A and B are shown apart, each in its own frame.
Chain A
Amino acid sequence: AQSVTQLDSQVPVFEEAPVELRCNYSSSVSVYLFWYVQYPNQGLQLLLKYLSGSTLVKGINGFEAEFNKSQTSFHLRKPSVHISDTAEYFCAVSAQGGSEKLVFGKGTKLTVNP
């Protein structure tokens, strides 16, 4: 079985500051990793995903994430955030032969202040 831990439930930052949202996973098999964003009263939107290859993955809206197999981490970063980035961010994992389609972390609420 797979599990995901998002280490921070809330992250407040000022506009134009850099941000890192942390995600660690646990799995006995190889996994695929995803970051989704959820704006208020909306569904989830894919930011980026890691399937294989380069460990640095670039996504939409200037976000990127780095896969670190030895540390079983997949942290999300953005060098300069905007007010519009205020949302909840979910890290998720899937695996071949897994019983669940996607296993999500509990989410990190990012609040960007002016």
Chain B
Amino acid sequence: KAGVTQTPRYLIKTRGQQVTLSCSPISGHRSVSWYQQTPGQGLQFLFEYFSETQRNKGNFPGRFSGRQFSNSRSEMNVSTLELGDSALYLCASSFLNSPADTQYFGPGTRLTVL
């Protein structure tokens, strides 16, 4: 089975722009979660989608949003980019949205905001 794929792998944007990141989960997985990884804050949960519905949301401003499509693929959007949004954005998929489920991570999208 193919793993979780994320596109693009690298992005460079300037402050004030917006960006859309894409995640394709493992075939058959219906839950997709997003995480932000920075040297200072570590790994932080952004949100989770299951069957096209947002199930959980982390403590991030409304500039961070996401959605999930009927084929379980997910996108996250960050509007009005700030320097502090520079990070590795990781997507993870699991079969169900149970907390006991193993999450499988993609390689991440490295976003640099100048």
Contacts and interface: CB of A to CB of B under 8 A. Distances in A.
A104 interface: yes
B105 A101 contact: no
**Interface extent on B, as a size class?**
20 to 34
A100 B33 CA distance: 10
Contact of B56 (A42, A90, A101, A106): A101
Interface of B: 4, 33, 35, 42-45, 48, 56-58, 90, 92, 99-100, 102-108
Interface size class of A (residues with CB under 8 A): 20 to 34
A94 interface: yes
Given A32-B99, A94-B100, 17 more contacts: A32-B100, A41-B107, A42-B107, A43-B4, A44-B90, A46-B103, A51-B100, A98-B56, A98-B99, A100-B45, A100-B58, A101-B99, A101-B103, A102-B45, A102-B103, A104-B44, A106-B42
Contacts of A103: 45
Interface of A: 32, 34, 36, 41-46, 49, 51, 90, 92, 94-96, 98-107
